[in-house]
Chains A and B, each alone.
Chain A
Amino acid sequence: MAVNLEDKSKMVVTEGSYAVAHAAKVCRPNVISAYPITPQTHIVENLSKFMADGEIPNCEYINVESEFSAISALVGASAAGARTYSATTSQGLELMHEVLFNAAGMRLPIVMTIANRAVSAPINIWNDQQDSISQRDTGWLQLYAEDLQESADMLPQLYKIAEDKEVLLPGMACMDGFILSHVYEPLVLLEQDLTDEFLPAYEPEYVLDPKNPMSFGAFAAPDTYEEFRYLQEQAMQNALPKIEAVAKEFGEIFGRFHGGLIDEYRTEDAEVIIMAMGSILGTIKDVVDEYRARGEKIGVLKVRAFRPFPKEQIRKAIKDAAVVAVLDKNISIGTNEGALFTETKACMYNARCDIPIIGYTIGHGGRDIRLETIAKIIEEAKEVASSGINTESQFVEVREELL
């Protein structure tokens, strides 16, 4: 992250959830729906306090009776022309599943923060990214934040991308639960004036309005359904350059850049590249710095956009490496692979580039990820570079005594 020197004077020490709630506030939402679930709850609590203090103009805050209604209310609100926000995680996000497809299919630019958490059973409130990864096919944009500042900065960026007329898709701003949502760090709270300059008011072309009646969510038979799906895919593809452009523009106005679709860290001449999403990148970078200090050519590829999936950018970033290790805080049970690993492999297959790629599924249910573990993965990757793949994808550090 390129930090503007001026920023230091503006920094305050605050909780991640507060910074995110504040960011949602300065985006001037019109309808917020809220339902408690750890570790997301502090976000909607902070927003309710802003409401109680009259700090969010032209906004209604709905205490819904379930996450199913949280997202459903936003479908209605967005179709009526409102800028909408909610936050959820894990069981709440899974409960929304059916509505997520619906919001995307109706092309409603709803924005939600996901404080990533493991899914039940066993019930577990700690961080991994299984919840949002499991929603990857619902047609939502998905960005993953590396740190607190990015979790907040992502919101105005995501509104701008989602509301773009060539995109019009809902988006999830994913931040690791607890690790980012509950940690206090110095950061800059988004300024209202700069946010207004960056993010124009939402002016939808089609709204529910008795003065100009339109039908939303009609029934599509086989002769038209496929085109709706095709257009959603087109919209996702349109979002690729927008995500890059919006991140750049954000940097120009706010002086902070967290990457566009991806962000490369010391990859210039890297022989080993470690890929991941979210807060784990901080740990990886620390380890890689040590390797670099010893003169070893190790780099890190941050994947910031998981939907749309930045195939081109990933190909370009890793094609010259000798080996790539992909770390996933999720797994598709039955493949023994995490989603980023599977998709990275898939996008390299027809690229006439035959570098070995290995996968690690790691940090399930909040299992601590230690520096030594990352170092061990790097060592194994180096092995693969010289002697080929032994194990394509694996769990890291399973406690044998519990099995």
Chain B
Amino acid sequence: MSKPTPKTYLSPGHRGCAGCCDALAAKFMLMGAGPDCIVVNPTGCLEVMTTPFPESAWEVPWIHSLFENGPAVASGIEAALKALGRKGNTKVIGVGGDGSTMDIGIRSLSGAFERGHDLTYVCIDNEAYMNTGVQRSSGTPFDASTTTSPAGKVSFGNPRPKKNMPAIMAAHGAPYVATTSIGYPRDMIRKVKKATETEGPTYIHAHAPCPTGWGFDGSKTIEMAKLAVQTCLWPMYEMENGEITQVKKVKNPMPVEEYLKAQKRFKHLFTMEGGDEEIKKIQALADWNIEYFGLQ
């Protein structure tokens, strides 16, 4: 018998693409957080598609300021609630994309975590700047072709691996840091709930495959998210006060090809000379995850 589904606070009438990862992530996030929260949402697909004035899909208080200042805005809200005696159990939640979180907003995020504000920050990692048309960010994986790291005659695409953002956030002394995936809604809901119930700055990094940016059908979003976990390219774990306390095991990891071949952004690895070698490098990243996080 399955458990009842928690209520969400994001109305369905948003303007995301069919199968949009950001919409699913926001929905699960609110299922975990509940209605007593204030959401800060920097610029990106989620912000644009949910709030075309005068409409809004948000059934909780929501604010968008800019692309790179979400965590600072959240800090100010948290401070204001405290000063005005309205903090109670209200949770302040920042939710931004990989570009916003890992690149342009990292100063703001680092500041907010170092100061120890009581807030939760959720990174919806769809591995590129989607809202501006799929440009490379520091969340873009190795060898992915994007519009600013295209594969070409002398390039296999993005030359760098993903930045290890959860480790950076854990290094701030955050009491709770967790990775999750929209392919595992219950996992995400549970972790967001735990994050918001933990006092202090907590961080959730949610892997979120984007059908439009990655090149797969909108009906396969969840499937793609699961493949990332099952190939061990996206490890799911929790860290409490810097220590890994829980890891989602993957009994029989699938080869990374299964994941790569399903997406247009990696297509060149199967057509270009030398692609095999590149795929081996990607398999090595997965193997490292298996080893380091003890995934098996």
Q: B64, A69: Cβ atoms under 8 Å?
A: no
Residues of A with C-beta under 8 A to B68? 68
Q: B64, A216: Cβ atoms under 8 Å?
A: yes
| A82 interfacial by beta-carbon distance below 8 Å | yes
| A72 interfacial by beta-carbon distance below 8 Å | yes
Q: A81, B80: Cβ atoms under 8 Å?
A: yes
Task: Return B11 CB to nearest CB of chain A, in Å.
Answer: 11
Task: Return A230 CB to nearest CB of chain B, in Å.
Answer: 14
Q: B47, A76: Cβ atoms under 8 Å?
A: no
Q: B84, A80: Cβ atoms under 8 Å?
A: yes
Q: A213, B83: Cβ atoms under 8 Å?
A: no
With A65-B107, A72-B69, A219-B51 in contact, do A213 and B58 touch (Cβ < 8 Å)? yes
Residues of A with C-beta under 8 A to B61? 208-210, 212-216
| B36 interfacial by beta-carbon distance below 8 Å | yes
**For residue B57, which residue of chain A has the nearest CB?**
A215
Q: A31, B107: Cβ atoms under 8 Å?
A: no
Q: A60, B82: Cβ atoms under 8 Å?
A: yes
Q: Which of B110-118, B246-254, B265-273 makes up part of the contact surface?
A: B110-118
* Bound-complex Cα distance A60 to B76 (A): 9
Q: B107, A76: Cβ atoms under 8 Å?
A: no
Residues of B with C-beta under 8 A to A24? none
With A66-B111, A76-B40 in contact, do A216 and B63 touch (Cβ < 8 Å)? yes
Q: A72, B80: Cβ atoms under 8 Å?
A: no
Q: B51, A99: Cβ atoms under 8 Å?
A: no
* Bound-complex Cα distance A75 to B65 (A): 8
Q: B83, A210: Cβ atoms under 8 Å?
A: no
Task: Return A169 CB to nearest CB of chain B, in Å.
Answer: 16
| B77 interfacial by beta-carbon distance below 8 Å | yes
Q: A210, B47: Cβ atoms under 8 Å?
A: no
Give which listed residue, B53, B66, B73, B76, contacts A219 with CB less than 8 A: B53
B34-63 with Cβ < 8 A to chain A: 35-38, 40, 47-48, 51-56, 58-63
Q: A73, B72: Cβ atoms under 8 Å?
A: yes
| A77 interfacial by beta-carbon distance below 8 Å | yes
| B286 interfacial by beta-carbon distance below 8 Å | no
Q: A82, B84: Cβ atoms under 8 Å?
A: yes
Q: B79, A218: Cβ atoms under 8 Å?
A: no
Q: B60, A72: Cβ atoms under 8 Å?
A: no
With A62-B79, A208-B38 in contact, do A68 and B65 touch (Cβ < 8 Å)? no
Q: B60, A73: Cβ atoms under 8 Å?
A: no
| Chain B count of residues within 8 A CB distance of the other chain | 48
Size bin of chain A's contact surface: 35 or more
| A74 interfacial by beta-carbon distance below 8 Å | yes
| B108 interfacial by beta-carbon distance below 8 Å | yes
* Bound-complex Cα distance A210 to B35 (A): 7
Q: A218, B83: Cβ atoms under 8 Å?
A: no
| A391 interfacial by beta-carbon distance below 8 Å | no
Residues of B with C-beta under 8 A to A62? 75-76, 79, 115
Q: A60, B83: Cβ atoms under 8 Å?
A: yes
Give which listed residue, A82, A217, A224, contacts B64 with CB less than 8 A: A217
Q: B54, A76: Cβ atoms under 8 Å?
A: no
| B149 interfacial by beta-carbon distance below 8 Å | no
Q: A218, B66: Cβ atoms under 8 Å?
A: no
Q: B53, A218: Cβ atoms under 8 Å?
A: yes
With A31-B80, A59-B83, A208-B38 in contact, do A224 and B110 touch (Cβ < 8 Å)? no
Residues of B with C-beta under 8 A to A58? 83-85
Residues of A with C-beta under 8 A to B90? 210
Mask for A44-71, Cβ within 8 A of B = 1, else 0? 0000000000000011101111101100
| B74 interfacial by beta-carbon distance below 8 Å | yes
Q: B76, A73: Cβ atoms under 8 Å?
A: yes
With A80-B81, A80-B84, A102-B66 in contact, do A33 and B76 touch (Cβ < 8 Å)? yes
Residues of B with C-beta under 8 A to A84? 76, 80
Task: Return A134 CB to nearest CB of chain B, in Å.
Answer: 19
B116-164 with Cβ < 8 A to chain A: none
With A79-B63, A218-B56, A221-B53 in contact, do A72 and B84 touch (Cβ < 8 Å)? no
Residues of B within 8 A of A (CB): 35-38, 40, 47-48, 51-56, 58-66, 68-69, 71-86, 90, 107-108, 110-112, 114-115
Task: List the 7 closest A-B pairs by CB distance, nearest first.
Answer: A76-B76, A65-B111, A73-B76, A72-B72, A69-B72, A77-B76, A76-B73
User: Can you name 15 extra interface pairs (CB under 8 A) apart from A72-B66, A79-B77?
Assistant: A62-B75, A68-B108, A69-B75, A69-B111, A75-B76, A76-B65, A77-B80, A78-B80, A99-B69, A210-B36, A210-B37, A214-B62, A215-B58, A216-B61, A219-B53
8 A-B residue pairs with CB within 8 Å: A60-B79, A66-B111, A68-B68, A72-B69, A79-B73, A79-B77, A80-B38, A82-B83
